[in-house]
Amino acid sequence: MTWHNHVATVITKASKRINILRRIRHLLPRSALDQLYKTMIRPILEYGGIIFDNLADNLVDKLETTQSSAALACTGAYRHTDKDKLIKEVGWEPLQIRRKYQRLVLFYKIQKGLTPTYLSTLVNLRDLDDNRRRLRNEREIEVPHARIIRYFDSYILKTGRDWNKIDPLIRKADSLDQFKNLLKKTYYYPQNKLYQHGHGPAAINRS
């Protein structure tokens, strides 16, 4: 379960569509290119992301580089543009951040009984107020100790640690929609207001 074959497959499939995006980028406004990426390419890179989010760093970088290639196609930016600045410019989150968001959403659903029983039994909740470890009313996850790296980065342990780090007000959200909105405000990037200014060739760098 190193995910090398999976990552290679999705990158190959996504790259073919990114090449199509490059060919048509001068014909469409940036808003259309943005939607094409989000609906036709990003789902390929994210398929099964909750499961494979224990990737080795080199595979994480390969996926992020693929997304950066799509951002270059949508913006017409120079090839050596800083990846972090480019992704912030288009208002896309790093794929690693999106996988974290998706993991936490599933974690919330598990706790609220919005998933099948075989998932809800995986999480061991404890009220820290009962143990007198904290003064504020909040719930955290008791994360088991792991000796093996693969187990340490498994879904429950990794997401449990992330869960304990988020704001208690987010953890106590009354509904799934509220939880998602609060989490997006924490992790998601705002798009540059001028990103979609102009239409067609006028908005794309031809160099």
Q: Which two tokens stand for residue 162?
A: 């992330």
* H/E segment holding residue 139: strand 139-141
- What is the pLDDT at residue 138? 54
Return the biggest CA–CA distance within the chain.
Answer: 63
| Predicted local distance difference test score (pLDDT) of residue 79 | 85
Amino acid at residue number 81: T
- The pLDDT assigned to 206 comes to 39
What is the per-residue pLDDT for 144?
77
Please identify every stretch of the chain with a pLDDT value under 50, giving residue numbers as ranges.
127-137, 200-202, 204-207
CA–CA separation, 124 vs 171, rounded Å? 15
- Residues in CB range of 202: below 8 A, 6 or more apart: none
Question: Token pair for residue 99?
Answer: 């996988």
Q: What pLDDT, on the 0 to 100 scale, is given for residue 182?
A: 95
